[in-house]
Amino acid sequence: MRWMLVATTLACATSLPAAAASSDGSADGQQCALGSGVVGALGGALNQVVTENNGGLFSPNLMWAAIVDRRGILCGVAKTGDAWPYSRQIAIAKAGTANGLSNSQLALSTANLYSPTQPGGSLYGLNNSNPYNPFFNSETTGSGPGSGVGYTPGGIITFGGGVALYQDGKVIGGLGVSGDTSCADHAIAYRMRALLGLDKIPNGP
Protein backbone atom coordinates (compact mmCIF):
# COMPACT_ATOMS: atom_id res chain seq x y z
CA MET A 1 0.00 0.00 0.00
CA ARG A 2 1.29 3.45 -0.81
CA TRP A 3 1.16 6.08 1.91
CA MET A 4 1.14 9.70 0.96
CA LEU A 5 3.46 12.00 2.87
CA VAL A 6 1.98 15.45 3.28
CA ALA A 7 4.61 18.05 2.44
CA THR A 8 5.06 20.98 4.78
CA THR A 9 5.62 24.56 3.68
CA LEU A 10 7.76 26.50 6.11
CA ALA A 11 7.63 30.27 6.86
CA CYS A 12 6.78 32.11 10.10
CA ALA A 13 7.99 33.13 13.60
CA THR A 14 7.66 35.41 16.73
CA SER A 15 6.37 35.00 20.26
CA LEU A 16 3.26 33.81 22.03
CA PRO A 17 1.77 33.61 25.54
CA ALA A 18 2.60 30.45 27.44
CA ALA A 19 0.50 27.40 26.62
CA ALA A 20 -1.70 26.05 29.37
CA ALA A 21 -1.82 22.28 29.86
CA SER A 22 -3.81 20.00 32.12
CA SER A 23 -2.22 17.63 34.60
CA ASP A 24 -2.27 13.89 34.04
CA GLY A 25 -4.90 13.41 36.73
CA SER A 26 -7.67 11.01 35.84
CA ALA A 27 -10.63 13.16 37.04
CA ASP A 28 -13.41 10.58 37.39
CA GLY A 29 -11.97 8.38 34.66
CA GLN A 30 -8.84 6.25 34.41
CA GLN A 31 -5.30 7.17 35.33
CA CYS A 32 -3.05 8.08 32.41
CA ALA A 33 -0.31 5.50 31.79
CA LEU A 34 2.18 8.11 30.55
CA GLY A 35 4.63 9.59 33.00
CA SER A 36 3.85 12.95 34.54
CA GLY A 37 7.00 14.33 32.94
CA VAL A 38 5.71 13.64 29.43
CA VAL A 39 2.27 15.10 30.08
CA GLY A 40 3.69 18.05 31.98
CA ALA A 41 5.98 18.92 29.06
CA LEU A 42 3.12 19.16 26.56
CA GLY A 43 2.35 22.86 27.03
CA GLY A 44 5.97 23.94 26.98
CA ALA A 45 6.71 21.94 23.84
CA LEU A 46 3.70 23.42 22.05
CA ASN A 47 4.58 26.94 23.15
CA GLN A 48 8.11 26.56 21.78
CA VAL A 49 7.27 24.90 18.46
CA VAL A 50 4.51 27.32 17.38
CA THR A 51 7.11 30.09 17.19
CA GLU A 52 9.14 28.17 14.59
CA ASN A 53 8.76 28.34 10.81
CA ASN A 54 5.83 25.96 10.45
CA GLY A 55 3.95 27.76 7.68
CA GLY A 56 0.19 28.01 7.85
CA LEU A 57 -2.30 30.82 8.33
CA PHE A 58 -1.11 32.31 11.61
CA SER A 59 2.24 33.52 12.89
CA PRO A 60 2.82 32.27 15.52
CA ASN A 61 0.49 29.32 15.06
CA LEU A 62 -2.67 29.19 17.22
CA MET A 63 -2.99 25.59 18.29
CA TRP A 64 -4.54 22.93 20.45
CA ALA A 65 -2.45 19.89 21.36
CA ALA A 66 -3.57 16.65 22.97
CA ILE A 67 -1.78 13.55 24.20
CA VAL A 68 -3.16 10.04 24.81
CA ASP A 69 -1.64 6.90 26.28
CA ARG A 70 -1.47 3.53 24.55
CA ARG A 71 -5.03 2.69 25.59
CA GLY A 72 -6.28 5.89 23.98
CA ILE A 73 -6.96 7.52 27.35
CA LEU A 74 -6.71 11.31 27.09
CA CYS A 75 -3.88 12.44 29.37
CA GLY A 76 -3.63 16.17 28.75
CA VAL A 77 -4.56 19.10 26.53
CA ALA A 78 -2.72 22.36 25.82
CA LYS A 79 -3.63 25.52 23.95
CA THR A 80 -1.87 28.60 22.58
CA GLY A 81 -3.60 31.88 21.90
CA ASP A 82 -7.07 32.22 20.41
CA ALA A 83 -7.08 28.79 18.76
CA TRP A 84 -10.26 27.61 17.03
CA PRO A 85 -12.55 25.91 19.60
CA TYR A 86 -13.30 22.97 17.27
CA SER A 87 -9.60 22.25 16.99
CA ARG A 88 -9.60 20.86 20.52
CA GLN A 89 -11.73 17.88 19.50
CA ILE A 90 -9.75 17.46 16.28
CA ALA A 91 -6.42 17.40 18.15
CA ILE A 92 -7.73 14.75 20.54
CA ALA A 93 -9.03 12.62 17.66
CA LYS A 94 -5.71 12.95 15.82
CA ALA A 95 -3.80 11.74 18.87
CA GLY A 96 -6.11 8.75 19.23
CA THR A 97 -5.97 7.91 15.52
CA ALA A 98 -2.16 7.90 15.29
CA ASN A 99 -1.87 5.88 18.49
CA GLY A 100 -4.54 3.37 17.50
CA LEU A 101 -3.17 2.72 14.01
CA SER A 102 0.55 2.46 14.82
CA ASN A 103 2.57 -0.38 16.32
CA SER A 104 6.16 -1.52 16.83
CA GLN A 105 6.42 -2.51 13.17
CA LEU A 106 4.97 0.56 11.45
CA ALA A 107 4.23 4.14 12.46
CA LEU A 108 1.30 5.79 10.70
CA SER A 109 0.73 9.50 11.08
CA THR A 110 -2.74 10.87 10.34
CA ALA A 111 -1.23 12.47 7.22
CA ASN A 112 -0.44 8.98 5.91
CA LEU A 113 -4.15 8.15 6.02
CA TYR A 114 -5.30 10.91 3.68
CA SER A 115 -4.70 9.15 0.37
CA PRO A 116 -6.00 5.63 1.21
CA THR A 117 -9.20 7.06 2.75
CA GLN A 118 -10.24 8.88 -0.42
CA PRO A 119 -13.02 7.31 -2.59
CA GLY A 120 -11.66 4.13 -4.13
CA GLY A 121 -8.87 3.88 -1.58
CA SER A 122 -8.22 0.77 0.48
CA LEU A 123 -9.28 2.51 3.70
CA TYR A 124 -12.23 4.46 2.33
CA GLY A 125 -14.83 4.91 5.08
CA LEU A 126 -12.32 4.68 7.92
CA ASN A 127 -13.14 8.21 9.06
CA ASN A 128 -16.70 7.09 9.85
CA SER A 129 -15.66 4.15 12.01
CA ASN A 130 -15.08 5.72 15.43
CA PRO A 131 -17.15 8.88 16.07
CA TYR A 132 -15.93 11.46 18.57
CA ASN A 133 -17.97 11.54 21.79
CA PRO A 134 -19.68 14.98 21.89
CA PHE A 135 -19.81 14.85 25.69
CA PHE A 136 -16.13 15.83 25.67
CA ASN A 137 -16.59 19.14 23.84
CA SER A 138 -15.35 21.33 26.68
CA GLU A 139 -12.95 24.12 25.68
CA THR A 140 -10.85 23.64 28.80
CA THR A 141 -7.19 22.68 29.17
CA GLY A 142 -8.01 21.28 32.60
CA SER A 143 -9.28 17.89 33.70
CA GLY A 144 -12.79 18.67 34.93
CA PRO A 145 -16.17 17.35 33.70
CA GLY A 146 -16.44 17.30 29.93
CA SER A 147 -12.69 17.64 29.41
CA GLY A 148 -12.25 14.00 28.42
CA VAL A 149 -9.10 13.66 30.54
CA GLY A 150 -9.10 10.14 31.95
CA TYR A 151 -11.46 8.91 29.23
CA THR A 152 -11.32 7.77 25.59
CA PRO A 153 -13.11 10.46 23.55
CA GLY A 154 -12.60 8.58 20.28
CA GLY A 155 -12.67 10.12 16.81
CA ILE A 156 -10.85 9.41 13.56
CA ILE A 157 -8.98 12.10 11.60
CA THR A 158 -7.31 11.40 8.26
CA PHE A 159 -5.24 14.51 7.57
CA GLY A 160 -2.01 15.87 9.01
CA GLY A 161 -1.38 16.62 12.67
CA GLY A 162 -1.37 13.28 14.51
CA VAL A 163 1.69 11.13 15.28
CA ALA A 164 2.37 8.09 17.44
CA LEU A 165 4.79 8.44 20.36
CA TYR A 166 7.62 5.92 20.63
CA GLN A 167 9.88 4.88 23.49
CA ASP A 168 12.34 2.00 23.23
CA GLY A 169 10.83 1.01 19.89
CA LYS A 170 7.29 0.67 21.23
CA VAL A 171 4.23 2.88 20.93
CA ILE A 172 3.37 4.50 24.24
CA GLY A 173 0.68 6.88 23.02
CA GLY A 174 -0.22 9.52 20.48
CA LEU A 175 0.11 13.28 19.99
CA GLY A 176 -2.37 15.39 18.04
CA VAL A 177 -2.32 19.08 17.14
CA SER A 178 -4.86 21.24 15.33
CA GLY A 179 -5.45 24.92 14.67
CA ASP A 180 -3.97 25.73 11.27
CA THR A 181 -3.60 24.12 7.85
CA SER A 182 -3.07 20.37 7.86
CA CYS A 183 0.48 20.90 6.59
CA ALA A 184 1.31 23.26 9.45
CA ASP A 185 -0.31 20.87 11.93
CA HIS A 186 1.79 18.05 10.48
CA ALA A 187 5.03 20.00 10.90
CA ILE A 188 4.18 21.06 14.46
CA ALA A 189 3.30 17.52 15.54
CA TYR A 190 6.59 16.15 14.22
CA ARG A 191 8.62 18.89 15.87
CA MET A 192 6.82 18.49 19.19
CA ARG A 193 7.40 14.75 19.16
CA ALA A 194 11.11 15.28 18.56
CA LEU A 195 11.27 17.89 21.32
CA LEU A 196 9.62 15.43 23.72
CA GLY A 197 12.22 12.81 22.74
CA LEU A 198 9.55 10.30 21.68
CA ASP A 199 10.37 10.10 17.98
CA LYS A 200 12.41 6.89 17.74
CA ILE A 201 10.03 5.21 15.32
CA PRO A 202 10.74 1.79 13.74
CA ASN A 203 9.38 2.41 10.23
CA GLY A 204 7.18 4.90 8.48
CA PRO A 205 7.06 8.71 8.44
Q: 163-193 burial, b if ≥16 CB within 10 A, otherwise e?
A: bbbbbeeebbbbbbbbbbbbbbbbbbbbbbb
Answer whether residue 42 is part of any domain. yes
Count the domains in the chain. 1
Answer whether residue 159 is part of any domain. yes
Instruction: Note the pLDDT tens digit of each residue in 147-178.
Output: 899 999 999 999 999 999 999 899 999 999 99
Answer whether residue 142 is part of any domain. yes
Answer whether residue 15 is part of any domain. no
pTM: 0.83
Domain that holds residue 144: 21-196
d(CA 202, CA 205) in angstroms, rounded, equals: 9
Instruction: Note the pLDDT tens digit of each residue in 37-85.
Output: 999 999 999 999 999 999 999 999 999 999 999 999 999 999 999 999 9
Answer whether residue 205 is part of any domain. no
Q: Identify the CATH number of the domain in which residue 163 sits.
A: 3.30.450.150
Answer whether residue 12 is part of any domain. no
Answer whether residue 3 is part of any domain. no
Phi, psi dihedrals of residue 118, rounded to the nearest 5°: -75, 160
Answer whether residue 192 is part of any domain. yes
* pLDDT of 24: 39
